[in-house]
Amino acid sequence: MANNESFDKLRLLFLITSPKMAAEAAELFDQDSVPIHYRMGAMGTASSEVLDILGLGSQEKRLLICALQKPVADAMLLKLHKALKIGTVNSGIAYTIPINGASKLAFRMLAGLSEEETERKDTRAMSEKKNAMIAAVVNLGYSEDVMVAARAAGAGGGTVLHSRSVVDDSALPHVGTGLAEEKDIVLIVANSETKLAIMQAISEKCGIHSEAKGIVYSLPIDNVIGLSD
């Protein structure tokens, strides 16, 4: 029981921001001896016209991920907000996800759970959280289609990662898609009122039976800075 309680206190901290702000954030992490476990390039989903209006030069983003005890994660969110103004307009977004929630993802994918089964199993846990991270994994080149569907259902924006699956097709008998192909991963932070509508819209347009061959899932967000109400 003690091990489970300790595990439940762990959080994944996600920071999505500009390359310059990510470098400054990395310095803050170093000052507190907080290790950054993953650092990767990403792209925002704002159109070039929107970027011109806002006076922003690029959609280029950085995603930093680290695993921390909940008190440390909460303190880092506060430090990012105070020191770097993360959470203010055009600065980026930072949030934490319980590790016990994130660990379910591997089980879902290896077990080949359908979207309906996955959503049904998570409804009770997700209902207690105000916000969620939606992730849509689609074939390369379909991230724009994901965002068109998501915005129509109330999403404000997203972040796109490019990846390549290393899971054998035989591990996912119910998915029926070649996971050796390159993929786009679209991350969207949404509140509880719009989460289901966004997921359903993405599934209808870019689901497993479409050319996008998409898998959509969500994880509860524990704490967040940078999300408009």
Same structural domain for residues 55 and 109?
A: no
Q: Are residues 54 and 152 in the same domain?
A: no
**Token duo for residue 27:** 């310095």
Residues 17-63 have pLDDT tens digits of 999 999 999 999 999 999 888 999 998 886 544 434 333 344 789 99
Q: Do 145 and 218 belong to one domain?
A: yes
Q: Mean pLDDT lowest for which of 44-58, 59-73, 127-141, 161-175?
A: 44-58
- pLDDT-derived band at 228 (thresholds 50, 70, 90) equals low
Give domain status of residue 228, yes or no: no
For residues 67 and 120, state if they share a domain. no
In terms of pLDDT, which residue wins out, 119 or 88?
88
Q: Does residue 38 sit in the same domain as residue 147?
A: no
Residues 6+ apart with CB under 8 A from 125: 101, 220
Per-residue confidence at 166, pLDDT binned at 50, 70, 90?
Answer: low
On average, the pLDDT of the chain sits at 78
Residue 227 within any structural domain of the chain: no
Q: Which of 90, 214, 208 is nearest to 144 (CA)?
A: 214
Reply yes or no on whether the pLDDT at 115 is more than 90: no
* pLDDT of amino acid 43: 87
> Do 41 and 110 sit in the same domain of this protein?
no
**Same domain, residue pair 69 and 48:** yes
Both 119 and 217 in one domain: the answer is yes
Across 45-59, 108-122, 125-139, 142-156, the highest mean pLDDT is recorded for: 142-156
Residue 193 structure tokens: 């009122």
- For residue 119, pLDDT over 50 is answered with no
Q: Which domain holds residue 215?
A: 103-222
Provide, rounded to the nearest whole percent, the portion of the chain with pLDDT above 90: 54
Q: Residue 229: inside a domain, yes or no?
A: no
The answer as to whether 142 is a domain residue is yes
**DSSP states along 92-127:** -EEEEEEHHHHTHHHHHHHHT--HHHHHHHHHHHHH
Look up the CATH number of the domain holding residue 107: 3.30.70.120
- 62 and 114 fall within a common domain: no
Which of 45-59, 66-80, 111-125, 158-172 reaches the highest mean pLDDT? 66-80
* Count, residues in the chain: 229
Domain end, chosen from 35, 64, 99, is at: 99
The answer to whether residue 34 is domain-embedded is yes
Q: What is the pLDDT of residue 107?
A: 43
Average pLDDT over residues 118-137: 65
